[in-house]
Structure formats: structure tokens, C-alpha cells
Amino acid sequence: MTKGRGAGGESAPEFVQLLTPDGERIDKVTGADGVEYTVDFTDDEYRGLYRDLVVVRKLDAEATALQRQGELGIWASLLGQEAAQVGSGRALRQQDMAFPTYREHGVLYCRGIDPIMPLSLFRGVDHGAWDPNQFRFNMYTIVIGAQTLHATGYAMGITKDGKVGNDDGEAVIAYFGDGASAQGDVNEAFIWASVFNAPIVFFCQNNQYAISEPIEKQTRVPLYQRASGFGFPGVRVDGNDVLASYAVTRAALDHARHGQGPTLIEAYTYRMGAHTTTDDPTRYRMAGEVESWQARDPIARVRAFIAKQQIAGDDFFTEVDELARRESLALRERVLAMPDPDPLTIFEHVYPHGSPLIDSQRQGFAEYMDSFEGSSH
């Protein structure tokens, strides 16, 4: 355990790790919550995780490029956080429900969702516009922390519906950041989840920054330790280790689906890129810090492990790169082909039952637009 300054201290944090940065496999490890964690993957599954990590990173890089070229308004890159997202995303069972922030593109991908889905939001075409229940993946939430309460309420509904208590039980995962941990909403979510013993996993990606503010500005204790004060277990996992992220999340979700209540997971990771494409991290952090995290890259260690264990050869790595390239090209083409929304849609979906005020404004707007037809405007 890091002593003294708490999370973000100088010394390496203690966390659940099953794959070292050098690609050495640790057989099993007991977390601060007293649970023993391990994974038992087939070679095929290891290759699958590697494929996910590489594709997710490539798609993310493509989106960043699209933003640079003016095709997206903004992009929130997940660079560096692939393992936390792929590990937790793959740990979800079909029946589980996820509540993302605006950065969970990797989780979305692992849910089997078409990666084009959130890009209309970043392009400025809509605000999300998907059905959370259809995809078992809520819309992206931009107001920091708000979704943790929604996730908790959804989990309370699962309990009400009697859908907990066995292997087929449902569980919810709520994603949020280290900065979000300071919000009232997040703390209230912890209280609600605890009091109602909700089947939920709070998955905090501690990427060390909330825009420019380092973790010390949000907390004096490691974030996972907050859980004990709310009355449920907390565990810190190496968020750059896809195996550990998977193991810890899987266990916490199963705990929840069996009716045993919430868990807080702190995935200790690092935001390798800017906060978003509008951010300039050189104003607030040193290049050396970024470099030290480069040595803990979430993908390099899986590749090293696969190579060392001879789970796959060079052909496989080339194949995966090729797949990622194809998927990112396809994504690019579809973003470029995305039509602009019809202006009249401004007035759609304000209310399920409509409103005479909106109706009259829609009509006024349409007439106003028609008045320009054929004119020089």
C-alpha cells in the first residue's frame, strides 16, 4: 500500500496485477478486498483480448485524426486506458448493463456495438440518439458523475424485478473518472447503492488527471478505500493489465448478480493523450511522466506474453494490425458519409406528447426557411 500521500504518491501502488509490464504472468493474487483473483483463458481468448486492445486503440487513433481534419467537433481519446476498458468490457455478461462516461469507446466495442454509434455525437450530428436498453449500454453522459446515480437506480430496478440471486442475475457497471469521484452525485450513488444493496459495480478509471488537475486535487486516500466508508468492498486493480481488469470486474459483477451488493473498483491507469482534442497537456504535465507510463503500456505486455508463451506467432500480430487498419478505414469512410441532420429535427422529440409552443415554432421556422428559397441566401 502506498503510504502517506495516498493515491498518486510517488511509489508504485499496490494493486491486483496478473500480467506484469514485461509480460510475465502472475498466477493468482489476493486483493485488498481479501478476494483471490486469477484468470483461466484459452489461447484463443488471449488472442481475442489482444485483438480487442489493438483494434480499440486503432479506432481511437482514427477518431483523433478525424477530429484533426475537422470531421469531428471533438474527440475524447482512451489512449492508455485500453486494458481497463477491454478487461471490464469483456467481463460483462450479455444480460448486464453499462453506464459509460464519454470515453468508454473500448467498452462499447467489447459490448459488440458498432463503433460508429457514438461518432455522430462527436461530429455534432446528434447528442447520442441510441436506445440504452437495446444495446445494454446507456448513452454517453457528459455531465460529470450524473450517470452513477442513473446506474444505481437501474440496478435498484433489477432488484425490484427479482433478477438477482443466481448465475443468471443481472448486474450493472457504472463508469466514471477520478475527478468524478469528488462530485456529490457520485457520493450519493455510493450511498444509495449501499443502502439498497444494489447489484452494481462502480468502475473508476483513475487515469491520474481530471483535465489538468492531478489526482491529489480530488483525494487524500486511494480512491478504492472510499468504499469502506460507504459499506461495501473496494479494490484497486492495475488498469493497464487487461487480465487483472477482467478478473476483478468479473468477480465484482458476479458478486452483484448474486445479490451481494456493490463493489468499487479503482482501475489504476494513465491518460496517455490529451483530455480531449481541445486540451494541451504540455501546460500541466511533464513529458517524463508520460514516458514512465509508456513503459507500462497495456498492449505491449500482452503482446510480450503471447510471444513468450508462443500463443501466437508473427503472422497473428500482422493479421491483427491488418484487421485494425481495415476497421479504422471503414470507420473513417462512414464518418465522412454521415449526412448532416435536417434543421427541422431541432423541434423533434422535445416531449413524447408534443407541445403547442414547439409546434408553432416549428411552423414559424419552416416558413422562415422557405422565405429564403430562390433568394440569394
Q: Which is nearer to other proteins, 116 or 323 (CB)?
A: 116
Judged by CB under 6 A, does residue 207 bind ligand TPP?
yes
284 annotated active-site: yes
What is the rounded (10 degree) CA torsion for 195, 200, 201, 203? -90
Annotated catalytic residue, options 90, 236, 255, 271: 271
What would the x/- binding string for ligand TPP be over residues 129 to 148, using CB under 6 A? -------------xxx----
Q: Which of 180, 302, 306, 335 binds ligand TPP (CB under 6 A)?
A: 180
The closest of 245, 291, 259, 252 to 272, measured between CA atoms, is 291
Judged by CB under 6 A, does residue 118 bind ligand TPP?
no
Cα dist from 210 to 4, 63, 207, 292, 356, whole Å: 22, 21, 8, 19, 42
123 interacts with, out of ligand TPP, other proteins, none, CB within 5 to 8 A per kind: other proteins
Residue at grid coordinates 468524478: 180
Contact between residue 56 and residue 62 where contact means Cβ atoms under 8 Å apart: no
Q: Which of 177, 239, 261, 273 binds ligand TPP (CB under 6 A)?
A: 177
Buried residues in 5-20 as b, exposed as e (16+ CB within 10 A): ebbbeeeebebbbbbe
Q: Which of 75, 203, 209, 305 binds ligand TPP (CB under 6 A)?
A: 209
Residue 22 CB, shortest distance to other proteins, in Å, is 34
Q: Which of 229, 313, 343, 354 binds other proteins (CB under 8 A)?
A: 343
Judged by CB under 6 A, does residue 85 bind ligand TPP?
no
Annotated catalytic residue, options 284, 326, 334, 349: 284
Q: Which of 65, 211, 304, 307 binds ligand TPP (CB under 6 A)?
A: 211
Contact between residue 326 and residue 347 where contact means Cβ atoms under 8 Å apart: no
Residue 24 CB, shortest distance to other proteins, in Å, is 36
Judged by CB under 6 A, does residue 105 bind ligand TPP?
no
Q: Which of 8, 80, 179, 273 binds ligand TPP (CB under 6 A)?
A: 179
Number of residues that bind other proteins (CB under 8 A): 45
Cα dist from 314 to 6, 262, 317, 318, 321, whole Å: 42, 42, 5, 6, 11
Judged by CB under 6 A, does residue 96 bind ligand TPP?
no
**Collapsing DSSP states into helix, strand and coil, what is residue 89?**
helix
H helix or E strand, kind and range, residue 134? helix 132-135
**The three cell numbers locating residue 109:** 466495442
Strand 200-206 and strand 172-177: the pairing is: parallel
Strands (E), the chain: 29-30, 36-37, 97-99, 172-177, 200-206, 209-210, 213-214, 234-238, 263-268
Q: Which of 143, 191, 295, 336 binds other proteins (CB under 8 A)?
A: 143
Helix residue spans in 169-284 (DSSP H): 184-195, 226-230, 242-257
The residue ranges that bind other proteins (CB under 8 A) are: 73-74, 102, 121-127, 142-144, 179-180, 182-185, 210-213, 217-218, 278-279, 283-284, 340-341, 343, 345-347, 350, 355, 357-358, 361, 365, 368-369, 371, 377
Active site residues: 271, 275, 284
